[in-house]
Chains A and B, each alone.
Chain A
Amino acid sequence: MDHLDMLENKSIYIIREAYYRFKNIAMLWSVGKDSTTLLWLIRKAFFGKIPFPIIHIDTSYKFPDMYEFRDRLSREWNFPLIVGRNEEKLAAGMGPSTGMKLECCTELKTNALKQVINKYKFKAIFLGIRRDEHGIRAKERYFSPRDDQFQWNYENQPAEIWDQYKSYLDEEEHYRVHPILHFTELDIWKYIQRENLPIIHLYLAKEGKRYRSIGCVPCCSPIESNAETIEDMINEVATSKTSERAGRAQDKENIYTMQKLRALGYM
């Protein structure tokens, strides 16, 4: 069994554990490379069938390619899609330019997700986060409880040993489940290449620039790059001198922004 096989088999095990523990479960899909990889692993875990809904949180500021990709894949892979939007705040004009970026993320991402979870009464949400993305994410568990205020109690996380995951639910709790926590950015690209997975073209270089991490148009900056193929990108990521999220505005506002966002329920 090679390195990518090991990662895959572990992820599938976790996906099946979560599905057994929480019948009312869904997956959060950003349409980016990580959560698309997770979606593929879910197909593998259930032999091609995706047995629960897939949620896309739409801030309305995403790249047009992302919407096109979302709709195409949901048809081709045949899964039920829930699109969550904080309509009230969008109608009131919330956006990255009208307020603080932290507030915008909280309203259009975190609170939009809260609305979906409350509406559908989901008890667990699959997320495609990885440990190597950020110091805070490196502290996550595979099964990560959130309280009724959606808060992450990062100072009192449960032990998680030998593939035994705490899944006990208080009435108002829900769990975030992170099946690809152990993949690195490089692993993801190698896996995408091996499995020939579809990805959004924004990741690939055009005229010397590409996006290493994608989200909302106003808050993502492209990096200088000539990586026009996945092969090029694997070489580039392996030798990069900056971290993956360096192009993401939300991480820069304040040193602890990510911690605060996650504590408040951000993905």
Chain B
Amino acid sequence: MEEKALPIVITGHIDHGKSTLIGRLLYDTGILKEDRYQEITASSSLLGKETEFAFVLDALEEERAKGITIDTTQIYFQTPKRKYVIIDAPGHKEFLRNMITGASYADAAVLIIDSNEGIMEQTMRHGYLLSMVGIKDICVLVNKMDLVDYSKDIYDKIVTGMKKFFGKLSLTPRFFIPMSALKGINVAKRDPSITWYDGPCLFEALDELEFKAFEERPFRFPVQDVYRIGKDKIVAGRIESGEVKAGEDVYLLPKGEKIRIKEIKKFLKDDIRKAAYGESIGLIVEGTNGLKRGDVLSGDMDAKAVKEFDANIFWFYGEYNKGDKIQIKCTTQESYCTLAITEKFDPATMDKKKEGLDHLEIGEIAKAKVKLRKKIAIDTFSYIPEMGRFILEKNGIPVGGGIIV
């Protein structure tokens, strides 16, 4: 079995059955431990309900009482093939920031649709945000099929609608599965009650999904901090792209000067020749008077140090009004900035708007020019995602995010 757990986010409109699905999946695969199951049964009966599978993830008292998911949760389970981290994301618009928090940890996604209600506002908003955070492997589940007498017509209508929607985003979902989380139909095993469907159950579909592909990219190292330890000045950070070798020359951005990597440092490891993507390391460098947090070491000059760039922005907390003091955080780089919004877009309606460009609300997406007070080093999101994505803060609170186009 693969050791690494594939992170999958479960998204969809409120009440379309995300938490129930996960509870069912865990119960059917024996991952839900007996003592937890009893706790859930006890909690359900306090509220006058049968054992409510959604309570596996909806652990907060308020969530159980109101029957909604407020916050994102992660839970582990496994199939004979591999391990998974299942990330539950709330469907309520007000909690969009929690949905995005969950989605940002995922490599693949499940988008769940209630067959009885059909494609709803949040279905499309979540679908759009998945594409924005860079998730390409999407599995669409048409849930609650038991409520529509397993109607093929209703299923086909939803499938056609979603194919059209994702087509506009240049995405093709990997799977469409008719199912019932409540009844356990097509979750852990295929079920013959849907006679016209002979595709995989959810369990089988998940095993087909893949980790985000790793691509060879040039070296990028945003400086996190500088420590003086003994006589050494150690530049700490994580490699966000590519690899670095001891003795190599790299560029220091935004200044553009050339410096040399003298040593690569890790605790209790000597003579490290090379370090690669994802490693949190220390560097000893020569050829500069000093480095500080927010500097970026780059293997080439393709990374641009800019004061202005174009971005797609999503807003998830409070409101934006023109003139608001906004701070951008991109890797370890920070700056105050202003937004010049050129177009607004509501994924729920697919309408593009040229008016109201000085205001943003929760769930809105915009194209904008981001103007910074000081230069930062960036790549486009499509080239190096780690260097091409950012969050926005207002009064120290995360309010939005974006990708550089």
Contact = CB atoms under 8 A, between A and B. Distances in A.
Interface of A: 1-3, 5-6, 8-10, 12-13, 16-17, 19-20, 43-49, 131-132, 134-136, 138-139, 141, 154-155, 157-162, 164, 166-169, 182, 184, 240-243, 246, 255-256, 259
B107 interface: no
Interface stretch (B95-103, B253-261, B348-356): B95-103
A85 to B, nearest CB: 31
A44 B46 CA distance: 47
Contact of B391 (A162, A167, A169, A182): A162
A68 B351 CA distance: 67
Nearest to A51: B227
A159 B103 CA distance: 11
Given A6-B4, A139-B59, A157 B98 contact: yes
Dominant SS among interface residues on chain A: loop
Interface of B: 3-5, 33-36, 39, 42-43, 46, 56-57, 59-62, 70-76, 97-98, 100-101, 104, 133, 224-225, 227, 229, 234, 236, 238, 265-268, 276-280, 282, 293, 316-317, 329, 386, 389-391, 393, 395-398, 401
Contacts of B43: 255
Contacts of A242: 33-35
A8 B266 CA distance: 12
Contacts of B104: 160-162
A20 B224 contact: yes
Contact of A135 (B34, B42, B73, B396): B73
Nearest to A2: B3
Nearest to B214: A1
A48 B270 CA distance: 13
B37 to A, nearest CB: 10
Contact of A132 (B70, B75, B227, B280): B75
B91 to A, nearest CB: 16
B224 A138 contact: no
Given A139-B72, A184-B76, A246-B35, A159 B398 contact: yes
Given A44-B266, A157-B98, A135 B282 contact: no
A208 to B, nearest CB: 21
A182 B76 CA distance: 10
B5 to A, nearest CB: 8
A159 B33 contact: no
A162 B393 CA distance: 14
B397 A138 contact: no
B267 A47 contact: yes
Contacts of B265: 47
A6 B225 contact: no
Contacts of B393: 166, 168
Return the 6 tightest CB-CB contacts between A and B, nearest first.
Answer: A168-B396, A135-B59, A159-B97, A161-B104, A12-B280, A3-B3
A17 B237 CA distance: 9
22 contacts: A1-B277, A13-B224, A20-B224, A44-B268, A45-B236, A46-B229, A48-B268, A138-B75, A139-B59, A158-B397, A159-B97, A159-B101, A159-B317, A160-B398, A161-B401, A162-B389, A166-B398, A169-B396, A184-B76, A255-B39, A255-B61, A259-B59
